[in-house]
Structure 1
Amino acid sequence: MALWDRFKESASTMQAQLLAKKNDLKSGSFRDASMAMCALVAAADGTVDQAERQRVAQLIASNDVLQNFPADDLRRRFDEYVNKLTTDFDFGKVSVLQEVAKAKKKPAEARAVVQIGIVIGGADGDFDKDEQAVVREACYALDLPPHEFDL
């Protein structure tokens, strides 16, 4: 099986796992960590153009698991995190990773945050090295082994 086919299958499996846990993923820390993760993936290469910001915002709004939260609230939080990253990527990344790390108190939420990052990262058909690297860093912030997610 080609690498891309394995990735698509893995992302599909992760989305199914997220849906199965949807009712358990309603906390504020999960919401904030998920939006921080989405911003990290969007800004993984150090920049976020308007088209990319819009595309990720649409993915967030259409994600069944994230529909536990008001879409306008998610968008506002996502935009705040992206702004931190685009103002000063290195400093912003430290702050945004701290938001991600707040989900580590609940292992199911922590795993779900990583899975959302992978699903968002691969939605355009290319989960590139920069995106993989920030998701790997998030794994460390959440005390999760990256190899659990094939990173």
Structure 2
Amino acid sequence: MGLLDRFKETATQMQTQLVAKKNDLKSGAFRDASMAMCALVAAADGTIDPSERRKVAQLIATNDVLQNFPADDLQRRFDGNCDKLSADFDFGRVSVLQEVAKAKKKPAEARAVIQIGIVIGGADGDFDKDEQQVVREACYALDLPPHEFGL
């Protein structure tokens, strides 16, 4: 099995695990951290082009687990995080990682935020090194070992 096939299988498994926990993932901290994670993945290479932003917004709108929250609320939070990253990537990244860290108090939610980052990052079939790096940084913000997620 090639690396790409193995990654697709991992992303599918993570989405299945997320759906199984859907009823436990309804807190505001999870919502905020998930939208911050999505923005970090969208901006992983240091920029967010409009097509990337639309693609991630579409993935957010169709993700089963995130449907626990109103779509317009998720969009507003995602856009706010993207705007921070676009204005000043380095400073914005610090602020957005603080949003991610909100999920630290509940380990199941923290793991779910990382899984969402991996699912979103791999949705195009290419979980590139920049995307892996921002998800790894989110692991550190959440006190989770990156190797647990194959990072």
TM over 0.5: yes
Structure 1 residue 125 displacement after superposition: 1.1
Matches within 5 A, 1:27-38: 27-38=27-38
Q: What do the CA deviations read for 1:79-111 (whole angstroms, capped 9, x no partner)?
A: 000000010000000000000001010000000
Query: Which 5+ residue runs of structure 1 have no aligned equivalent?
Result: none
Matches within 5 A, 1:1-151: 1-151=1-151
Q: Name the SS for the 1:74 alignment partner.
A: helix
CA–CA distance in structure 1, aligned partners of residues 13 and 93 of structure 2? 28
Normalising by structure 2, we get a TM-score of 0.99
Q: What do the CA deviations read for 1:26-60 (whole angstroms, capped 9, x no partner)?
A: 00000000000000000000111111111100000
Query: Which 5+ residue runs of structure 2 have no aligned equivalent?
Result: none
Structure 1 residue 61 displacement after superposition: 0.1
CA–CA distance in structure 1, aligned partners of residues 4 and 44 of structure 2? 20
How many percent of aligned residue pairs carry the same amino acid? 83
CA–CA distance in structure 1, aligned partners of residues 16 and 79 of structure 2? 27
Aligned residues: 151
Q: What do the CA deviations read for 1:92-143 (whole angstroms, capped 9, x no partner)?
A: 0000000000101000000000000000000011100000000000000000
CA–CA distance in structure 2, aligned partners of residues 84 and 90 of structure 1? 9
RMSD: 0.4
